[in-house]
Amino acid sequence: MTEFSLDALLTDIETLVCCESPSSDLDAVAHSAEVLADLGKALLGVEPERIVLDGRTHLRWRFGDGPARVLLLGHHDTVWPMGSLETHPFSVADGVLRGPGCFDMKAGVVMALHAAAALPHRAGLSILVTGDEELGSPSSRALIEEEARGCEATFVLEASADGGAIKTRRKGVSHYRIEVTGRAAHAGLEPEKGINAGIEIAHQMLAVAALADPECGTSVVPTVLSAGTTVNTVPAAAAVDVNVRVWDEEEQLRVDRAVRALQPVLADAQVRISGGINRPSLDAASSAALFGLARELSAEMGLRKPTEAAVGGASDGNYTAGLGVPTLDGLGAVGGGAHSDHEHVLIEELPWRTTLLFALVENVLAKGSPSIPVNPAENSGQSRQCLSGASRERIVP
């Protein structure tokens, strides 16, 4: 059984964590990519491709002359602003590693590189580390789908779920913006001459919130809200952003149709709908075969038995699963507190998780993707079609 040095893993994680890389700072992300490229070259012996899209730097390593068969997928950007190391310094104490972005997901990126470096044969392997995942992957989505298409497996190095569980289901995500145009008027002298966009947006918020279906796990949540300009003016404009999470394509399309069918309630108000489906869901059928393989390999190597979890958050694994590529997510660090002050990694989990990842990649490269070990009748029935994330707009008079 291949074993991995905890000291070596910790050293490389420290290098990445101590290079701050907030998604919104293009220079910081570019610098992080260079630090990561140097680390990867030291481990893998080759330079990565540097792919800059819309100013954001992504890295890709490809091995062998043929098409990619296995994709290791991660990101090196974080939600933490520059200067976070001053208030949240890198540290390792009492078995816990801390630092901005350590759990989500710089430890996972290091695990991927170490696992790949240990492979006796890498032909057919591709490693893609993007720089804009925390923004919703606006520039890297097409790159991810291009790299994953035709692969036999995608392994996503996002952090684990609670207790180290591998993520075998993820909800799909849609984002909408509802904008209302009314008519301004003096709120004290002649309010009747106005069309109150604030009242109209309130009607629209109630309408979209009613589309939620808790029994199906569908949430439809109005989030960022704005309306009005001054305290004595009938609001002429208002807007609200809406976040949608669903378990399957049917629900995603139901909500999409309903949002686009919204009509104004107040006479002469206008409602404009923009946005749309961002990520398809990662369903159980997409991950079942690979999770079964993870359990089988763990038993053979005497590793602890992996557990699984379904989570509401999305990742780039949603995109690969949407293409019909078998996808296993949450293979990265065990810990908690992503995006929060208590973000941390449990260091004792790092070596065996890296060993499991190594075994998964080696097995698929040698033997091909495993068959799905479930009854088709138990599958969610979700289509393998990759849903369009393109923004569409409609104005209702």
pLDDT in tens, 52-86: 999 999 999 999 999 999 999 999 999 999 999 99
Its pTM stands at 0.89
**258 with 248: CB under 8 angstroms?**
no
Q: What share of the chain is helix, strand, coil (3-state, %, to 5)?
A: 35, 25, 40
Closest CA to 168 of 334, 292, 349: 292
Please report where in the chains the tokens 């998964």 appear, as a residue: 360
pLDDT in tens, 355-394: 999 999 999 999 998 975 544 333 333 333 333 333 334 4
Give the per-residue pLDDT at 293. Answer: 98
Return the ∠ at Cα 280 (arms to 102 and 278), rounded to 5°.
Answer: 75
Closest CA to 30 of 58, 65, 71, 62: 58
**175 with 240: CB under 8 angstroms?**
no
Closest CA to 362 of 9, 120, 65: 120
Please report where in the chains the tokens 């629209």 appear, as a residue: 204
Q: How far apart are CA 195 and CA 382, in angstroms?
A: 43
Give the per-residue pLDDT at 369. Answer: 85
DSSP calls for 191-252: GGGSB-HHHHHHHHHHHHHTT-BGGGTBEEEEEEEEE-SSTTB--SEEEEEEEEEESSHHHH
**152 with 70: CB under 8 angstroms?**
yes
Closest CA to 316 of 131, 166, 151, 176: 131
**278 with 176: CB under 8 angstroms?**
no
Q: What is the mean pLDDT of each run of 10 residues along the chain (397 residues)?
A: 95 98 98 98 98 97 96 98 98 98 98 98 98 96 97 98 97 98 98 98 98 97 98 98 97 98 98 97 96 98 96 96 97 97 98 98 94 45 36 40
Diameter over CA atoms, the chain: 81
Neighbours of 375 (CB within 10 A): 7
**108 with 68: CB under 8 angstroms?**
no
Residue 294, Cβ density class (10 Å: 0-12 exposed, 13-18 middle, ≥19 buried):
buried
DSSP alpha helix (H) spans, the chain: 6-17, 26-44, 84-87, 107-117, 141-148, 197-209, 249-260, 284-301, 317-322, 350-367
User: SS3 for 68?
Assistant: coil
Rounded mean pLDDT of the chain? 93
Neighbours of 149 (CB within 10 A): 15
pLDDT in tens, 301-325: 999 999 999 999 999 999 999 999 9
